[in-house]
Structure 1
Amino acid sequence: MDCLFLDLLDVTVDDVSGIIGPYLRDYLQRRRSPESGLGLELSYYNGYPKVVAGDPGRGDVPPSAMEWMDNLVTIFIEDLKSDSLLALATYVPREEINHLRVRGVLISAAVFSAKFPYVREINFLGIPLDVLFSNLDQDEIFPHLQRLCITFDRHTKRPSDGGLLKTFLDHLESFGNRLDQLELHKSDHIHPRVREEIRGMVRELIL
């Protein structure tokens, strides 16, 4: 079996975790191991949550162009919240997750890093940076991160976004991690001077 698609109504996260979770882990562990690692997508958009685990495209494809290919497991559940998405994601072998795509899940980057410490490429969509980059302490986060893509929307843009992004990049660099690539979409609200300062903090900035 190369694909599992579930659309479940009137169930709790405990129901799904207890029945589907172990199968999900067993299925992903038994499949062929992709050279580019495993991709994970967590999405909570328009009240419709989604967890997708599968093989992304080639390892050199940036997170904004990730393609979900074969060996795909998709789970849709009504009325799940962010913590429920993470609970389901724990059944995905985290040591294989190199690509992470998150949309509208209001959880800090520090929590994502603790759950998925081996990711190299991340795509964050529609998450306020004051939520995403909150609770940055002295601990290292995303030690293997190479590429980061952030897409803003009109609901998540904040005047403080440029400063928050610089603080996050400073935090990474304090542990010797300088991003190979930072891609920002719909970032016109960030002052041009601040964008140039950000450009100097990464190896490549794509606007």
Structure 2
Amino acid sequence: MSNNKPILYSYWRSSCSWRVRAVLELKKIPYEYRPVNLFSGEQNEEKFRSINPFGLVPVLMVPNVSGDGHETLFESLAIINYLEQTNPEPSIYPKDTIQRAKVAGIVEFIVCDIQPLQNLGTMRKAAEFGGSPNKGVEWNRYWITTKFKQLEQILHSLSGKYSVGDQFSLADICLVPQVYNALRYNIDMNEYPTIKRLFEQLLANEESIIKSHPDKQVDSDAQKKS
């Protein structure tokens, strides 16, 4: 591992990878970026499967305690929890235990109840069962709009400047990639004014979100065209 920097295996459009990139940027942890093309199926090749048998990104490789090798971490929230424990400042959670639990609840709703339903494999299977590529898009739009109605309601009651109160947190870091994904499917965000406000504010003002944006990654379409 070069210079003992963590190595992040990532795909530019992956919501899960964006979460980890944002936390790395927030905590100012230098890392090496290694792209994995999910669209072409690179995650299923033996080379990557030897790193993560799950065939998923993100993967973060970090130096082990003895300094003579590395540990391979997988699943975005597990990686983020590791980064929070090893680099506690600035924290991605409020100090207040109730507020912290509310942040965790928003995070779990996005990470477990919304985002997995739009995974590339899930969408392709929905299209296959529906007999048309359009059925995969319809699947995504249905679940995003259904879940955003619920998320809008709770964020309307919990949010201040940020998703939960007035402190930037992991809830915000998870919200932005999910809205970015919704916009790819032409979801009308005017139907969700609280979510829209938070997304636009975070995307415009939060350095960690801006630096970790998909378009800024070396494997993005934007970077390939430049």
* TM-score (ref. length: structure 2): 0.27
- Quick check: which one's helix share is greater? 2
Structure with bigger strand share is 1
Bigger RCO (CA 8 Å, 6+ sep): 2
TM-score (norm 1): 0.29
